[in-house]
Amino acid sequence: MKPDILTSTTFWGSIATLLAASGAWFTYVASVISSRQRIYEGISNLVEGLEAEFVLISQWASGEEGSQGYVTKTRLQLVAAHPEWFNPSFMIFKFNTPRLNTITTSPYIGHLGAIATQLVMLNHSIQQLLDSTARQQTFAMGDTLMFQSVMEKLAPKTSPLEMALTPPPKAVASPQPAKISWAHEERAYINIIFMLNEGIHQGVIGGADSGNDCLYKSFRAARSALQEFKKGLKREPLPFEFTLGHVVAGWLAFMGLWEMMRWIGVW
Across-strand partners of 69? 207
Answer yes or no: pTM beyond 0.85.
Answer: no
Q: What burial class does residue 51 get, using C-beta atoms within 10 Å of its C-beta: 0-12 exposed, 13-18 middle, 19+ buried?
A: middle
Cβ neighbours around 204 below 10 Å, total: 23
Q: What is the sign, positive or negative, of the torsion defined by CA atoms of 234, 242, 31, 251?
A: positive
Pairwise CA distance, residues 141 & 131, whole Å: 15
Cβ neighbours around 10 below 10 Å, total: 12
Interaxial angle between packed helices 215-231 and 115-142, expressed in degrees from 0 to 180 and rounded to the nearest 10: 150
Instruction: Return the DSSP state at 207.
Output: B
Q: What burial class does residue 144 get, using C-beta atoms within 10 Å of its C-beta: 0-12 exposed, 13-18 middle, 19+ buried?
A: exposed
Q: Answer whether 70's CB lies under 8 Å from 202's CB.
A: yes
Pairwise CA distance, residues 262 & 94, whole Å: 76
Pairwise CA distance, residues 73 & 55, whole Å: 27
Q: What is the pLDDT of residue 149?
A: 92
Pairwise CA distance, residues 56 & 45, whole Å: 17
- Residues sharing a CB contact under 8 Å with residue 65, sequence separation 6 or more, in sequence order: none
Q: What is the pLDDT of residue 198?
A: 96
Q: What is the pLDDT of residue 6?
A: 47
Q: SS3 for 267? A: coil
Q: Answer whether 263's CB lies under 8 Å from 11's CB.
A: yes
Q: Answer whether 28's CB lies under 8 Å from 262's CB.
A: no
Pairwise CA distance, residues 254 & 196, whole Å: 77
Q: SS3 for 116? A: helix
Q: What is the pLDDT of residue 155?
A: 79
Q: What burial class does residue 219 get, using C-beta atoms within 10 Å of its C-beta: 0-12 exposed, 13-18 middle, 19+ buried?
A: buried
Each of the 267 residues of the chain gets a pLDDT tens digit; together they read 445 444 555 655 565 665 565 656 556 666 767 777 888 899 999 999 999 999 999 999 998 888 999 999 999 999 999 999 999 999 888 999 999 999 999 999 988 988 999 999 999 999 999 999 999 999 999 999 999 999 988 876 655 555 555 665 555 566 788 888 999 999 999 999 999 999 999 999 999 999 888 999 999 999 999 999 999 888 777 666 666 655 655 655 555 565 556 555 544
